[in-house]
Amino acid sequence: MALQGNLDDFSLPEILQLIAVQQKSGVLKLTSGSDVAVIFFDGGRVVSTRDRRRNARDPLKAFLVQTGHITDSQLKQIETIESESRRELTDVLLSGNYLTSESLAVAIQDQIQDTMHQLLTWKQGTYHFSGDGRTVPKFAANVRLNTEGLLMESMRRLDEIVRYKQVLSSPAMVLRPKALAMPPKDMTTQEQRVLPLVDGLKPLRDIAAQSKLVEFEVYEALHHLLDLGVVEVSLGATAAAKVTPIVKQAVAPPRRSMALPVAAVILLGSLAIGRLGTPLLYAQAERAVRHAPAMSSTLDDSQRLLLALEVYRSIRGAYPTELRALSREGVVPPATVSAFVRRFDYQSDGTSFRKTAR
């Protein structure tokens, strides 16, 4: 199966669901500007998001350092061994006792989940899926993760991080322990890492850097500790900032005799641009639309809507009561919904849906 196109027309959740449903093996390449990412599938399950081409950065290395599994000096040793022995990274990690097989498997799963979360924020770019099982890599430590489960967790993170950042609104924000508050006994591992760093002095950005956690985990832990009343926003402490003094300068009184003529010239210029320039811009836009190449896809609008409905149900637990919810959730582009609505009537009670031709 070959699948390629633009993320504006065929969203990443649709692509992932299609590969999972058809249990395909191969590699999905995503490109957005200068950013490139890959996802490897084996029988519809995600096995890796590591780009191991020559001169490509292996995201697992940066993740292991960021999350404290290895140090910078250890990474240099590992890369030296890689280049001299030409052995694969996970083999070096295990044979050199840098990580156990269990902790490495957990780290790979966490790295894949964090990468999927980041990729779902891409709204523009291109994709290309090559359904060739021979491209699926084999590592010393292997995982096979449920694609729908990864998708559901990633979309949950997208929803939650918006809510968390409404409270933790700035990386310069400073938190402090709340007086007389007792930490709960059932804190998560992430909360246990974050709480000792909350001292009323460190800004949020420093807590995130020192916690050895990914961004979402930091915000989730801190938000929960705020809800529990264990920490609070420090109003007195602020992150160090460079302040540029405002120098008062003598301002010459305006030359009133020229003010009105200049204003009149500017106004007339604006009207001329609006009258003459706007039609030209609209004409260029219309020409661009008329001559834009048609996007080819392996699915028609009806099939894509049926697939999108299943994606929505697997994530939300029920079918939407109206089709517009699919585009609001980012599961499918609005144009696809409109094309479907023109051809069919849609009715749903949440547990099932019915479509009839108009």
Task: Write the pLDDT tens digit of every residue in 277-317.
Answer: 444 433 443 443 344 343 334 456 666 677 777 677 766 67
Residue 318 confidence (pLDDT): 77
Residue 184 confidence (pLDDT): 86
Task: Write the pLDDT tens digit of every residue in 99-119.
Answer: 999 999 999 999 999 999 999
223-233 average pLDDT score:
95
d(CA 50, CA 350): 38
Q: Which residue has the higher pLDDT, 76 or 266?
A: 76
Secondary structure class of 126 (helix, strand, coil): strand
List the beta bridge partners of residue 26.
Answer: 41
* Cβ atoms within 10 Å of 323's Cβ, excluding its own: 23
Task: Write the pLDDT tens digit of every residue in 180-192.
Answer: 888 888 999 999 9
Q: Which residue has the higher pLDDT, 311 or 216?
A: 216
d(CA 332, CA 289): 21
Residue 90 confidence (pLDDT): 94
Q: Tell me the whole-structure pTM to 2 decimals.
A: 0.67
218-228 average pLDDT score:
96
Q: Is the pLDDT of residue 252 over 70?
A: no
**135, 47 contact by CB (below 8 A):** no
